[in-house]
Every structure is written in C-alpha cells, then in structure tokens.
C-alpha cells in the first residue's frame, strides 16, 4: 500500500500501537499519497481522516447503488440474495441491523459480524481494520465470512473492486449473486430496508420514513448526524484542542436540544417511532459506556439527562433492538482499536448501565 511502511510484526497490541503510530506519521505528511495535492486523498483508516487543523473529517462512502422493489432492476429485492456485513461495535452498521429486526427482514437478508478489535489485514503492509475470525466460536458474536472466504473486510472490497484503495468500512450490503458491494452507506441502506423490501418483510406496514414526517425527520437527522453521531467522533479523533472544544460544544448543545424535545414527546419527531430515533439511539447507547471516556465526551453523562436516558431505555426495550446491541463488542472495539487514544487497550470496568430498567415514557405520552 503506498505510503505505509511494510512490517513483518504480528498483530498483538504493542505492534498495533507501532502500526498506528506509523499510519499517523504517514497521515502527518511522511506519505506521498497523503500529501500529494494532485491525487485524490483516500483515507485508509479513521486516523487518516484528520485535517491539518487537527479536526476529524469523515470521507464519503464509495458504493452507492440501490436495491429496488422492481424485479427487473440490477439489484432487485429478492429474499436470500443479500448479506449484511456488520460490526456489532459500529453505530452505522447497528442502525442497519436495527432495521433488519424492526422490519422483520432478518430471515430474508442474512448478516454476520466481524471481530471487534482491528487487526492487521495483510502481512505485506500495516493497515489495521476489520477482520473475520478464523472459525466460529473464536470470538462470541463474530463469524467467519460465510460466502467469500475473506479474511478481512478489506478483502471484500477488493473482490468488489480490484483497485479499491479507500477505507474498508462496515456496514457492507453485499450481493451474493454478483459478488459485489451494493452499498456501504448506512443512511442509504436503511432507506432501502424501509421501503424496497416490503414484498418479503415480516413487518411491511412499519414505515420509519413516512411522507408526512419527512421534513421533520430530515431536520432532526441534520442536527443529530453532524453534532451527535459524527460529533462524538470529532471529539474523539481531534488532534488539537480547538477542534475538540468546538466539537464538544456543538455536541452538548445538540444533546440539550434533544433533551428538551424529548421532554414534550415520546420520540424525536412526535409520538411515532421514525428513522430519526434509530439514528440517534445508536450513538446514545454507546455514550456512557464508551464515548464519555474514550472520546472525552464527559461534560455530562447520558444518565444525567432524564429524558434522553429514559428514551434510550425505551428504544432498547423495543422488541428486537436489544439483540443489535452487543456491549462486549462495543467496549472491546473502541478501547482496543485506537492505540493512539488508548495505547494500552485497557477497558474501563464501568459503568454497566442497565437499559432494561423501567422507564415511564409509554405512560407519559399516551
């Protein structure tokens, strides 16, 4: 891979630290690929997505095709044809998983999770990323690649596109028939799952994006994506005080706003569950367990916001949702995969919040 120093070291923690340090130094300017102004900048990992000002700047997703209910489409909504590769740790992948459960699509679209902690994806370079376990049972909740024999998510992208040099991210909506990535942008995958698979969904009547709430959903998504979903990453990956301070301020202004909204209604767009709630939930459920410590989002804990905290419990207790939350993977991933933030990979013991505890939201907003 251009710009990264080949290494023969194994993937234990110390080597991961060295590898990340090398990736960081490449991102900081010792790599021809990362500094060339004539070439398109393609991030290999989140650590490459930090600008010269020290702020985190996410790269857009690459595969943007759509599955359609139209049987003659290139990617028709057919049962058994697609597989969703996720990491239980990843909030973006988890929102897709939540849709599989809510729409009753988990029998028509298979899914599997990678291992929680980034590892070397090649012997020949030091890229760190998502890998599959060698066998079932190696890591509870993670499965070997059932269709392509891939060792890593990077392998999958290279099957789909031989010259793919971007960041190999999850989620991946995979077409088993054409052996390619249909789409790797979760905001688009969830829209497809909501509307295109109703012919094979067990819960086709559930519309998480109804026309009459569209404007409100888009408005909430606008606030939540930038300030909260991506905002926590901006806090965590900032490499200078200024961008961190700015991201934290924006994050807590948005959380305060959500707290206020949720004091008046059960969900973010009224008293009906919508896409906006699924998108907010995946960040809130990780907040106190990970983001508060690992990403330095500790100005206030989720547990100190009565409405947001009870709302998170309310969402968690929707049938099917708790199965999409694997706190073991979440904690292992964040604390173990970013050695530049947590060099020794130590996982804090707390706080083990009980999201199954009672809340009063159903009765409050009858």
Q: Is 92 annotated as a binding residue?
A: no
Residues present in the chain in total = 366
Examine residue 230 and tell whether it contacts ligand GSH (CB under 6 A): no
The helix/strand/coil state of 275 is helix
Of 121, 80, 84, nearest in space to 101 by CA:
84
Q: Is 185 annotated as a binding residue?
A: yes
Q: How far apart are CA 129 and CA 119, in angstroms?
A: 6
Give percent helix, percent strand, percent coil of the chain, each to the nearest 5. 40, 10, 50
Q: How far apart are CA 68 and CA 353, in angstroms?
A: 40
Examine residue 90 and tell whether it contacts ligand GSH (CB under 6 A): yes
Examine residue 312 and tell whether it contacts ligand GSH (CB under 6 A): no
Cβ-contact 61, 169 below 8 angstroms: yes
Number of residues that bind ligand GSH (CB under 6 A): 14
Q: Is 167 annotated as a binding residue?
A: yes
Shortest reach from residue 360's CB to ligand GSH, in Å: 32
Between 81 and 338, name the residue whose CB sits nearer to ligand GSH. Answer: 338
> For residues 125-144, which are near ligand GSH according to CB under 6 A?
129
Between 118 and 305, name the residue whose CB sits nearer to ligand GSH. Answer: 118
Element (H, E) at 183: strand 180-183
Shortest reach from residue 119's CB to ligand GSH, in Å: 11
> Which residues 6+ apart lie within 8 Å of 97 measured at CB?
84, 86, 88, 111, 324
Examine residue 113 and tell whether it contacts ligand GSH (CB under 6 A): no
Q: Is 170 annotated as a binding residue?
A: yes
Shortest reach from residue 187's CB to ligand GSH, in Å: 6
Of 47, 25, 27, nearest in space to 35 by CA:
27
Examine residue 34 and tell whether it contacts ligand GSH (CB under 6 A): no
Q: Which of 45, 121, 274, 307 binds ligand GSH (CB under 6 A)?
A: 45
The helix/strand/coil state of 134 is coil
Q: Is 246 annotated as a binding residue?
A: no
Examine residue 98 and tell whether it contacts ligand GSH (CB under 6 A): no
Q: How far apart are CA 190 and CA 197, in angstroms?
A: 11
Shortest reach from residue 265's CB to ligand GSH, in Å: 26
Tell me whether residue 176 is exposed, middle or buried, using C-beta atoms within 10 angstroms of its C-beta: 0 to 12, 13 to 18, 19 or more: middle
Between 190 and 261, name the residue whose CB sits nearer to ligand GSH. Answer: 190
Q: Is 186 annotated as a binding residue?
A: yes
Shortest reach from residue 365's CB to ligand GSH, in Å: 30
Between 180 and 272, name the residue whose CB sits nearer to ligand GSH. Answer: 180
For the annotated catalytic residues, the residue numbers are 90, 233
Output phi, psi for 43, to 5 deg. -75, 135
Element (H, E) at 215: helix 214-224
Tell me how far apart the 2 most distant CA atoms of the chain are, in Å: 61
Cβ-contact 277, 268 below 8 angstroms: yes
Q: Which of 15, 46, 150, 227 binds ligand GSH (CB under 6 A)?
A: 46
Between 184 and 307, name the residue whose CB sits nearer to ligand GSH. Answer: 184
> For residues 160-199, which are near ligand GSH according to CB under 6 A?
167, 169-171, 184-187
Q: Is 153 annotated as a binding residue?
A: no
Q: How far apart are CA 19 and CA 129, in angstroms?
A: 11
> For residues 49-68, which are near ligand GSH according to CB under 6 A?
61
Shortest reach from residue 154's CB to ligand GSH, in Å: 9
DSSP 328-343: HHHHHHHHHH-TTTST
Q: What residue ranges bind ligand GSH (CB under 6 A)?
A: 45-46, 61, 90, 92, 129, 167, 169-171, 184-187
Give the residue numbers of the binding site: 130, 167-170, 185-186
Residues at the annotated binding site for glutathione? 130, 167-170, 185-186
């Amino acid at each position: 891979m251009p710009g990264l120093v080949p290494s023969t070291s194994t993937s234990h923690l110390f080597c991961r630290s060295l590898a990340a340090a090398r990736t960081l130094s490449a991102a900081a300017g010792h790599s021809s690929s990362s500094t060339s102004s004539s070439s398109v900048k393609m991030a290999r990992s989140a650590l490459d997505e930090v600008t010269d000002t020290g702020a985190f700047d996410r790269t857009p997703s690459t595969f943007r095709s759509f599955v359609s209910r139209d049987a003659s489409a290139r990617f028709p909504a057919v049962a058994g044809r697609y597989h969703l590769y996720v990491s239980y740790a990843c909030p973006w992948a988890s929102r897709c998983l939540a849709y599989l459960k809510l729409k009753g699509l988990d029998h028509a679209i298979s899914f599997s999770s990678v291992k929680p902690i980034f590892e070397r994806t090649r012997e020949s370079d030091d890229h760190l990323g998502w890998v599959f376990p060698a066998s079932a049972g190696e890591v509870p909740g993670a499965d070997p690649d059932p269709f392509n024999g891939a060792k890593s998510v990077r392998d999958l992208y290279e099957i789909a596109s031989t010259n793919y040099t971007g960041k190999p991210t999850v989620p991946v909506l995979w077409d088993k028939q054409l052996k390619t990535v249909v789409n790797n942008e979760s905001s688009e995958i969830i829209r497809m799952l909501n509307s295109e698979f109703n012919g094979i969904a067990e819960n086709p009547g559930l519309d998480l994006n109804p026309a009459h709430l569209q404007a409100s959903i888009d408005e909430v998504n606008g606030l939540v994506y930038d300030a909260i979903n991506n905002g926590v990453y901006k806090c965590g990956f900032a490499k200078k005080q200024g961008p961190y301070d700015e991201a934290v301020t924006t994050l807590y202004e948005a959380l305060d706003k959500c707290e206020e909204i949720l004091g008046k209604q059960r969900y973010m767009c009224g008293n009906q569950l919508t896409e906006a709630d699924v998108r907010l939930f995946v960040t809130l459920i990780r907040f106190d367990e990970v983001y508060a410590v690992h990403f330095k989002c500790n100005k206030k804990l989720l547990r100190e916001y009565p409405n947001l905290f009870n709302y998170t419990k309310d969402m968690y207790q929707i049938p099917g949702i708790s199965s999409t939350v694997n706190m073991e993977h979440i904690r292992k991933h964040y604390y173990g995969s970013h050695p530049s933030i947590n060099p020794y990979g130590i996982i804090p013991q707390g706080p083990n919040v009980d999201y199954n505890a009672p809340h009063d939201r159903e009765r409050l907003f009858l």
